[in-house]
């Protein structure tokens, strides 16, 4: 099992004819992801062809869903139009939308969040690397890769990874794989101030997934999402959890990397998040290079 996506998930790519969307559509097809449709307004009727795959392109998400049965999408749409692309997927009843786009205006994301209230659709991102559920075999192909994460570093197994940082997601995954430890699902939730799924949303799914035996949670300065997840883990999580918080040396008031990574009003510091993790019984890795080993120590 896995969370959110499986090898059977039918994926459409919004922005498949753009250079960035096209490149990652190709990589997902090579990985074995079931990419069944693309969407680019005005280019309906075309085919996206790659290594023997012929993916039909539609003008709208609704048409793509009706014709192909797609249940998830990846959004590779410029920031000015990305919010409307997300909402188009919500209106079409998609189960999952993965918004890769960086720089979506905060007001646009507030509008998206309000429009999604009470709807069935889950949103990962924006400004995220996406999600990978590895497949079988030594190269994990045949799984589901939605987004920009390097599929080849993954290995099928029993550790769930959730992170605000894309590069630290890859680092944790690669450390696990190098130690012969596979992953159930890896979710990069993104670092924007108004995200879709939070750490807590993903942790709850991992906690209920029988194929996830341990969890790595990676956070960073800014906001209170990590503290909220830690409080829930302390009371409810039945599995070993290791964590890492990035930004311990960041000065207050200065944004570091992600738009949401800023210490404001004395809140959102790395020290506060690390303290919350320890209070919750989460094993804290002192450096990024020790994330996998920290989890494996407590799993043993």
Terminal C-alpha separation, the chain: 22
Asked if residues 72 and 94 have their Cβ atoms less than 8 Å apart, the reply is yes
Q: Alpha carbon 194 to chain centroid distance?
A: 14
In whole angstroms, what is the distance from residue 219 CA to residue 217 CA?
7
Q: Which of 24, 154, 199, 258 is catalytic?
A: 258
Determine the 3-state secondary structure of 285 from DSSP.
coil
- Scanning 179-269, the segments in alpha helix (DSSP H) are 199-208, 225-236
Task: Please indicate whether residue 236 is annotated as part of the active site.
Answer: no
- Scanning the chain, the segments in alpha helix (DSSP H) are 19-31, 61-68, 79-91, 106-116, 166-178, 199-208, 225-236, 270-279, 291-299
Residue 264 is classified by DSSP as B
Asked if residues 111 and 136 have their Cβ atoms less than 8 Å apart, the reply is no
Asked if residues 24 and 148 have their Cβ atoms less than 8 Å apart, the reply is yes
50 phi, psi to nearest 5 deg: -160, 120
In whole angstroms, what is the distance from residue 67 CA to residue 62 CA?
9
Task: Give CA angle at 191 (186, 192), nearest 5°.
Answer: 135
Burial category of 187 from C-beta neighbours within 10 Å (exposed 0-12, middle 13-18, buried 19 and up): buried
Task: Give CA angle at 29 (55, 88), nearest 5°.
Answer: 55
Active centre residues (catalytic): 258
């Amino acid at each position: 099992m896995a969370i959110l996506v499986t090898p059977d998930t039918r994926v459409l790519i919004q922005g498949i004819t753009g250079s960035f969307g096209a490149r990652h559509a190709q990589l997902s097809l090579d990985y074995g992801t079931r990419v069944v449709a693309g969407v680019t307004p005005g280019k309906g009727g075309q085919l996206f062809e790659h290594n023997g795959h012929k993916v039909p392109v539609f003008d709208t998400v609704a048409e793509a869903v009706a014709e192909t049965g797609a249940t998830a999408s990846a959004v590779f749409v410029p920031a000015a139009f990305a919010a409307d692309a997300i909402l188009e997927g919500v209106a079409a009843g998609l189960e999952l939308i993965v918004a890769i786009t960086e720089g979506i205006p905060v007001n646009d994301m507030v509008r998206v969040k309000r429009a999604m209230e009470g709807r069935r659709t889950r949103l990962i991102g924006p400004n995220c690397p996406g999600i990978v559920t590895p497949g079988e075999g030594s190269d994990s192909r045949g799984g589901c890769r939605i987004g920009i994460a390097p599929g080849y570093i993954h290995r099928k197994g029993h550790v769930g990874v959730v992170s605000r940082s894309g590069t630290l997601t890859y680092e944790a995954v690669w450390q696990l794989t190098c130690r012969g430890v596979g992953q159930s699902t890896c979710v990069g939730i993104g670092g924007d101030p108004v995200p879709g799924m939070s750490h807590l949303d993903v942790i709850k799914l991992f906690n209920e997934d029988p194929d996830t035996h341990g969890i790595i949670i990676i956070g960073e300065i800014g906001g209170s999402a990590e503290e909220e997840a830690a409080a829930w883990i302390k009371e409810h999580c039945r599995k070993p959890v290791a964590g890492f918080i990035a930004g311990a040396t960041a000065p207050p008031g200065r944004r570091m990397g992600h738009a949401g990574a800023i210490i404001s009003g004395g809140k959102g510091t790395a020290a506060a998040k690390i303290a919350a993790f320890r209070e919750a019984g989460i094993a804290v890795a002192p450096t990024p290079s020790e994330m996998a080993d920290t989890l494996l120590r407590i799993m043993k």
